[in-house]
Amino acid sequence: MSYYVKDYMDKDFPTIQVEASAVEAAKALNTTKKGYIIVLEKGKPLGIVTEWDLVSKVLAAEKDPKKLSLRQVASTPLITVDPDKDLLEASELMQKNGVKRLPVVKGGVIYGVITSTNIAQKCGEYVNKSVKDVLRWSFPLG
């Protein structure tokens, strides 16, 4: 039995248009309290801006956040996961790419975001279900 990304992802996620400035993104991040915002271009997910992106690409680089569009700040290409993938696959994808958030995308449509926090919060439940499944397969009743 698998535990699918679609069952654990956040379905409520912040978005912003690619033409927005870094200042607008910072204000949106402050409002949403999510730590990230998905950047859209013509309604399609293009990239992601995180608090770290603003610190490293704007503040530390001493750039004017009012003059930078999100095309210059967003992390691209966007690393995504299919909603029908297993949580373990999502976790491995995060680890391989050094990211904490994966937009959940299928057919160019974004359905949600799975985060390392989502996975950590469900880790105990996931392990318990997995152990029960293994025991059930190893020692079938009847």
- pLDDT tens readout for residues 29-72: 999 989 999 999 998 999 999 999 999 999 999 999 999 999 99
pLDDT given at position 117: 87
pLDDT of residue 2: 66
Per the listing, tokens 């985060």 go with 115
User: Above 80 in pLDDT, residue 124?
Assistant: no
Q: Cβ atoms within 10 A of the Cβ of 27, count?
A: 13
Return the CA Rg of the chain.
18
Q: Which residue has the higher pLDDT, 125 or 53?
A: 53
Of the pLDDT bands very low, low, confident and very high (cuts 50, 70, 90), residue 26 is very high
Reference 35, options 99, 78, 88; nearest CA is 99
Domains of the chain, CATH where assigned: 5-138 (3.10.580.10)
* Assigned token pair, 15: 């978005």
Closest CA to 19 of 36, 42, 35, 53: 42
Residue from 78, 32, 74, 24 nearest 53 by CA: 74
